[in-house]
């Protein structure tokens, strides 16, 4: 099982700035197990009692590169209001289209690899269509919106060596806020 100390943070490693390598299929059993561990970690991290007891920060997305593994995959585990989870295991993703509308996370984006609050807004597309593969090499095309769209863009950035603070304007952290919608 993944532990908080397994997650690299910005201060610990330059690997977060590397562009992750494409996965070839068939996918290794080791990588499939890791993907499932990543999903379980995220699911548990969103359980308030578990996260308090184990001093774990809640997360809804994680890229392999955040664990020091230079491979092009990530997972998302989004807890719905009814307690169910929307989960995605995303391998070799590409954004194929996006909305014109921009959004930002009102309380600010967070990241398991950036262990501090970063002031400012991160412009994201409100909707994106992503092509990716599942663990068995089946191609999937998925249109995602709002919080899930932000998570996909955030994790794809990780695969390209980009951290969310890179997307915040250094001179004007709230630049063009009035031209975007908050979520």
Residue entry with tokens 């494409």: 22
From 22, 101, 135, 155, the catalytic residue? 155
Can you tell me whether residue 9 is helix, strand or coil? Answer: coil
Among candidate residues 77, 72, 176, 161, the one with its CA nearest the CA of residue 124: 176
The Cα 66–Cα 6 span in angstroms is: 8
Say whether 87 is catalytic. no
Among candidate residues 12, 182, 9, the one with its CA nearest the CA of residue 108: 182
Residue entry with tokens 């630049």: 175
Active-site amino acid positions: 155
């Amino acid at each position: 099982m993944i532990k908080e100390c397994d997650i690299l943070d910005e201060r610990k490693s330059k690997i977060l700035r590397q562009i992750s390598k494409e996965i070839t299929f068939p996918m290794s059993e080791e990588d499939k197990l890791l993907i499932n561990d990543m999903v379980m970690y995220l699911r548990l991290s969103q359980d308030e009692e578990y996260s308090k007891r184990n001093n774990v920060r809640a997360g809804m997305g994680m890229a392999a590169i955040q664990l020091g593994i230079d491979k092009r995959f990530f997972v998302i585990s989004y807890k719905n209001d009814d307690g169910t989870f929307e989960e995605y295991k995303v391998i070799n993703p590409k954004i194929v289209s996006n909305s014109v509308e921009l959004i930002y996370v009102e309380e600010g984006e967070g990241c398991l690899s950036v262990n501090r609050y970063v002031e400012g807004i991160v412009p994201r597309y409100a909707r994106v269509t992503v092509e990716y593969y599942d663990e068995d090499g089946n191609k999937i095309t998925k249109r995602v919106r709002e919080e899930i769209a932000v998570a996909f863009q955030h994790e794809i950035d990780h695969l390209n060596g980009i951290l969310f603070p890179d997307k915040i304007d250094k001179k004007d952290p709230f630049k063009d806020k009035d031209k975007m919608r908050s979520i």
